[in-house]
Structure 1
Amino acid sequence: MVSFLTVTELFLSSSRALYSLTLTVSILVASGYIGYALFRRFRRPHSTRLKGPPITGRNFLFGVLPDILKAPYPGALYEGWAAQFGSVFSVPAPFGSKSLVLTDPKAIAHFAARETYGYVQTPRAKHFQERLIGRGLFWAEGDSHKRRTPSPSLVSHVTNKFSRQRRALNPAFTSAAIQNLAHIFFDSAYKTKAAWDVMLESGPSNGTVIEVQLWMNHISLDTIGLAGFGHDFGTLSGKESSIAAAFDTIATKGSFWDTTFFMLSFALPIMSSVPTGRRILLNQLTKTMFSLGDKFLETETTRDVATDKSVMGLLVKSASTEKISHEEVKAQINVLLLAGYETTAVSLTWALIELSRHPEIQTRLREELLQSEGDLNWEDLTNHGSFLDAVTCEILRFHPPLGEIQRMAAEDDILPLSAPIEAADGRLVDSIFVTKGQLITLPIECINRSEAFWGPDAKIFNPARWLDETDGANKHRAQDIQGYRHLLTFSDGARICLGKVFAVSEFKAVLSVLVRNYTFELPKGPDTVIGRHRNILPRPKVEGEAGYDVPLKVRHYVAPE
């Protein structure tokens, strides 16, 4: 009989052999993968090497992301680099890679024209969006990164999902469709007025301090609920909303580990699955949004299809024609909530802050609004040339809700330049070769405030610049940007925001009611420091206040005798 010791020795020997074999195979597989990656990297030509801040040990893992997150105004970083390195330059990206930053108008126009198939979202961004809001319009685009040289027929195929969703939504965002919803914008403003009147009547005679960002959230959420899918969240009437609670909870400051894992997820996407406090809250928000989508689609079958003028009502009507699935329709509800709620609330809050900082601009706007008897009509909301329109455009320019976007080249490409720049090797180049997989950054906030585009007063909040749009001295190269009113705030090209007219009309309607009836000022004076609170989108906040609070002193406007 074989002894126990002998069996043990045989087992250990076999285990060591198996371990050795496994280790050898693992090393061979890893070596093969690394060799293949290096072969692919060096076999194919690189993107044109450009100047830019160097990769150091400090930013090898995260790139410039920590600098962007810490900066009070990230656009200034990009503008400084553009002045130093040229209109297109490279910055460190995660894991020692590089991202090309575009501030040249010709390169930007080319980039915008090729979005959805030539320049696509990174895999991590698509994964995040799919988990948060589903496969809606933000997520949809082509899969042209799977083929190096797509044929015209393939390009048509891969952009089909994006095109179908956009075509299905188009009827809901025509001027006529939004005009039918304009009364909802004013209703939300007047519900706010009714609540504020009560607060002012019971408050001190010299005005009441109101945390205005909370109220802008309520306005935005109730408006997008009613106009978007015929649902009244009721937050302006004091009702509690699970959606509002989810957004507010996420807005609380994240812990050290939340921030750490957030930054790590840009380099290692698997880190986005770690159940940090912020990730758990995002999962709860996603669950709440999808639950709301299910409820809407359940009740849609009982509504009068002929009279439902909401965005989603019109989408459901066109869904069958464009072959939009149930899940895609539900995802559009999440797109509306996320885009319609956050962006408008942020912009309205910034408007009240800037009017408080510049009382002379506030007075001029009020004087114009008081010339109209009653509320503005649709032409007033959509026409250009008024001071209200000028203030609106300047807020969009000065405080874009989204500071930058990042895409990835789905195929090799050549970016044209409006003027030659010096490459890393000292050569002057008038175009840039971009290889498949190259990261591209479009710094919206930087371009919107760039002196090269907007003249020497680009860093000054000045609505008057919009009153004479023929003044080339004020506009400089901004005329070369093809986005809404020469801005990149709503993006550009194929992905320009479908809801831009909706957003601008809502903004003007709400601001007109509030400014006509109230005066606003910062309790500690116009020089009060305004910071930024990191949320799904950056939020303004008064430094020293909790969370993203923006307390303003509000008074009834009393016309001088």
Structure 2
Amino acid sequence: MLTLHGLFAFELVCYLTVTLLLVRLFFDHLHRRTQETSFNGPPSPSWLFGVSKLLAQSSDSASLYERWSEKYGLVYTISATLGKSCLVLCDPKAVQHFYSGDTYGYVQTSATRALVKSMFGHCVLWAEGATHKRHRKALVPAFSPAAIKAMLPIFYDSAHKVKSAWDSILAAEAPDSNSTIIDVQEWMNRASFDTFGIAGFGHDFGTLRGEPSTIFRIVDAFITMRPGLAGSLQIVLGLVFPWTLKLPTAFRRLGDQLDANLGEIAREVLASSRTDEGTEGNTGDRSIMGVLLRAEKSDSQMNMSTNEILAQMKVMMIAGYITTANCLMWCLVELAQKPELQNKLRQEVSQIPCEDATWDQLVDGLPYLDAVIHETLRLHPPMGETTRVATADDIIPLSYSTKTATGAVTDRISVSKGQLITVPIHTMNTSCRFWGSNAKEFHPERFLGDKSGIMKDLPGHKHILTFVYGPRMCYGRNFAITEMKAMLAVLVCSFAFEMVDGPNAEVGVIGGLLSVPVIADGDGKTIPLRVRRLE
């Protein structure tokens, strides 16, 4: 039992603790006010949610960011959860500086890390600083040019499986017209899913053969599911209260189901790879799994634990599958809407002899195919924005002088520790300021010729931010690009693609994690295209 003296001492300690906390918060606020450069921005519709709810529920958040940029400049402030402010960067030099400091000077929010950890574990997407560097060093060899070249036969095998399946569908449904409607999205999902399973882990899911796959069904539902009001609230509140991410909403339950099934498959593949390692004919050393197993046994700085390996497997299965399938689908939709560009691509690819294009031809010999892929990546990035928090006070340089909230003109920004910063990737990729008046149009020719446009001011792979930039630049980008080139080369040479309702048919967008194309008046889930066999 506490004595009066002890009770008084306890109360005094509590009082002093609260007082010190309030004093610290006051001085932190004062420090930010004196250190940060303030900017104007759109009014906050809600102190609780700021503009977060508006962005989360919008199917075209890029347009929101762009309208704000046109009104307030290339640097402006938006309101985040619970009255927090978030600095938005649309200035090329500022964006380059921001991404260059990723994982050290600018890190993921606690909510983002909590969400990634709960879904995948201690993976490369979760890691920061030295841990991220170690993970990346262990993974990069699996995506070297030599490694991807060795995987090329797997990419072509999946492409020809799709071709054979479609030939069978056409023979059964349209023996005379050689034309029928096919849910192309479903087939791109299957092809990408099976390809990554084999190339990455030596595991054939068999979805191209029609074999059922629980994990395929869950992933498909997960990427097309809209979080809904409860899910949106959970994500928004998670920016401040990470524990809310564990509440059992429908979105969270689907995520848990995804995690459980991915974990089970990952353990099976890992156990099988360990058993088969070193056996005659084993190709694990060239696979992603082979690289992970070597990292597990390594005594160097690349050493990874079993749990880390499982986490990498899960996140790469998702990232490697859904982003590639989604880009392929958008690519076919864009080509179906512009038959003249589809014909131009077909003419280039058809110049190659009957055999599949070689590695050297895919890399350097098919410039229009390369342009079509990158124009699709520019217009339809899988991730629409990047948000980080500053770990220390910093000065960010600007390409263009801009006005602050006080009306002063500056060519640099002062940010303080704890400042939220966002780069709207989709907006930067499609900005008329950087890409010209046709920035919103599908125009592959912009990646051909001397490419002398102002877009060279932008950082990133081929000056697009789809794969971001800096330490977190996507290490699997060449894997995805090569897979897409192989698939597209085979299909465009074999089939013509048309929108069911004509080239001017309206295409909508759904999805919580990705911008998935759908026919505006369709079932809201699929993209059926008319597929015609070429003679």
Q: TM-score when scaled to structure 1? A: 0.88
Partner of 2:383: 402
- Aligned equivalents of 1:448 and 1:345: distance in 2? 20
Shift of 1:68: 2.1
- Identify the residue that residue 74 of structure 1 maps to in structure 2: 61
**Does structure 1 residue 189 correspond to structure 2 residue 159?**
yes
Matched, 1:243 2:215: yes
Q: Does 1:493 align with 2:484?
A: no
Partner of 2:283: 307
Structure 2 match to 1:460: 441
Q: Secondary structure at the match of 2:68?
A: helix
Identify which of 49, 57, 73 aligns with 1:86.
Answer: 73
1:444 Cα offset (Å): 0.8
Amino acid at match of 1:290: G
Q: Deviations over 1:1-21 (max 9, x none)?
A: xxxxxxxxxxxxxxxxxxxxx
Q: Return the alpha-carbon distance in structure 1 between the equivalents of residues 51 and 525 of structure 2.
A: 25
How far apart are the structure 2 equivalents of 1:62 and 1:234? 44
> Which residue type is aligned with residue 334 of structure 2?
E
Q: Secondary structure at the match of 1:436?
A: coil
Cα deviation, residue 35, structure 1? 4.8
Q: Displacement of 1:259 after TM fit?
A: 3.5
Check the 8 A contact 2:56/2:232 in 1, yes or no: no
Work out whether 1:65 is the aligned partner of 2:52. yes
Cα gap change, 1:461/1:272 in structure 2, threshold over 3 Å: closer, same or farther?
same
1:440 aligned residue: 421
Q: Secondary structure at the match of 1:400?
A: coil
223-232 vs 290-299, which deviates more?
A: 290-299
Q: Which amino acid aligns with 1:137?
A: V
Task: Give ranges in structure 1 of 5+ residues lacking alignment.
Answer: 1-21, 143-158
Q: Contact 1:78 / 1:443 at 8 angstroms: preserved in 2? A: yes
Give per-residue Cα distances to partners, 1:336-367, cap 9 Å, x unaligned.
Answer: 11110110011001001101110111111111
Out of 83, 95, 119, the residue aligned to residue 82 of structure 2 is: 95
Q: Which residue is equivalent to 2:315?
A: 335
Worse-matched range after superposition: 444-453 or 253-262: 253-262
Query: When the two structures are superposed, what TM-score results if normalisation uses the length of structure 2?
Result: 0.92
**In the alignment, which residue of structure 1 is the partner of 2:5?**
none
1:6-85 pair list within 5 angstroms: 33-44=21-32, 45-55=34-44, 58-85=45-72
Provide the rounded CA distance (Å) in 1 between the counterparts of 2:324 and 2:241: 32
Matches within 5 A, 1:258-269: 258-269=231-242
Change (3 A) 1:484 1:384: farther
342 and 100 in structure 1: CA distance in 2 versus 1, 3 angstrom threshold:
same
Distance in structure 2 (CA, Å) of the matches to 1:353 and 1:256: 30
1: CA distance, partners of 2:386 / 2:153: 33
CA shift, 1:481, in A, is 2.3
Which residue is equivalent to 1:352?
332
Per the alignment, do residues 27 and 351 of structure 1 end up closer, same or farther by CA in structure 2, a change over 3 Å counting? Answer: farther
User: Conserved in 1, the CA contact under 8 Å of 2:35 and 2:415?
Assistant: yes
Do the aligned residues in 2 keep the contact of 1:172 with 1:310 (CA within 8 Å)?
Answer: yes
* TM-fit CA distance, 1:30: 6.2
Give the secondary structure class of the aligned counterpart of 2:239: helix
1:234-260 deviations in whole A, cap 9, x for unaligned?
A: 100111112102112323445443334
Equivalent AA in structure 1 for residue 283 of structure 2: T
8 A contact 1:385–1:467 mirrored in 2: no
SS at 2:124 equivalent: coil
CA distance in 1, matches of 2:221, 2:319: 18
Residue in structure 2 matched with residue 126 of structure 1 by the alignment:
113
Question: For residues 509 and 396 of structure 1, what CA distance do their matches in structure 2 show?
Answer: 16
CA deviations 1:427-454 (Å, max 9, x no partner) are 0111000101111111111111111111
| CA distance 1:248–1:471, change in 2 (3 Å) | closer
Say whether the 8 Å CA contact 2:330–2:517 is kept in structure 1: yes
1:220 aligns to 2:207 (yes or no): no
1:385 CA displacement: 6.0
Q: Percent of pairs identical after alignment?
A: 40
Match of 2:96 among 109, 119, 128: 109
**Contact 1:409–1:439 (CA<8 Å) still a contact in 2?**
yes
SS of the residue corresponding to residue 407 of structure 2 reads coil
2:170 is paired with a residue whose SS is helix
Q: 1:304 and 1:403 mapped to 2: Cα distance?
A: 39
The letter for the 1-side match of 2:234 is F
Question: Match for 1:139 among 110, 126, 138?
Answer: 126
Indicate how the Cα distance of structure 1 residues 24 and 217 shifts in structure 2: closer, same or farther if over 3 A, else same: farther
CA distance 1:451–1:377, change in 2 (3 Å): same
Quick one: distance in 2 between partners of 1:538 and 1:114?
27
Within-5 A mapping of 1:278-297: 278-297=251-270
> Structure 2: which amino acid aligns with 1:42?
L
Q: 1:451 to 1:43 in 2, by over 3 A?
A: closer
Superposed CA deviations along residues 82-131 of structure 1, whole A, max 9, x for unmatched, are 22211111111111111111111111111121111001000000010011
Equivalent position of 1:145 in the other structure = none
Superimposed CA distance per residue, residues 471-520 of structure 1 (whole angstroms, 9 cap, x where no aligned partner): 42xx21x2122311111111111111111110100010011111111111
1:33 positional shift? 4.1
1:325 aligned to 2:305?
yes
Conserved 8 A contact 1:408-1:437: yes
SS of alignment partner, residue 71 of structure 2: helix
What is the alpha-carbon distance in structure 2 between the residues aligned to residue 71 and residue 482 of structure 1? Answer: 27
Do structure 1's residue 423 and structure 2's residue 396 form an aligned pair? no
**Among candidates 492, 513, 521, match of residue 515 of structure 1:** 492
Question: How much has 1:23 moved relative to structure 2?
Answer: 12
| Per-residue deviation, 1:548 | 2.6
Distance 2:58 2:361 in 1: 38
The amino acid across from 2:399 in the alignment is S
What is the CA–CA distance in structure 2 between the aligned matches of 1:418 and 1:313, rounded to whole Å?
44
Work out the CA distance in 2 between the residues paired with 1:60 and 1:534.
27
Q: How many residues align?
A: 518
Which AA in structure 2 matches 1:534?
Answer: G
The structure 2 residue matched to 1:172, chosen from 119, 133, 142, is 142
SS at match of 1:301: helix
RMSD: 2.3
Contact 2:507 2:519 in 1 (8 A): yes
Aligned partners of 1:62 and 1:267 also within 8 Å:
no
Q: CA deviation at 1:390?
A: 0.9
Distance 2:221 2:478 in 1: 30
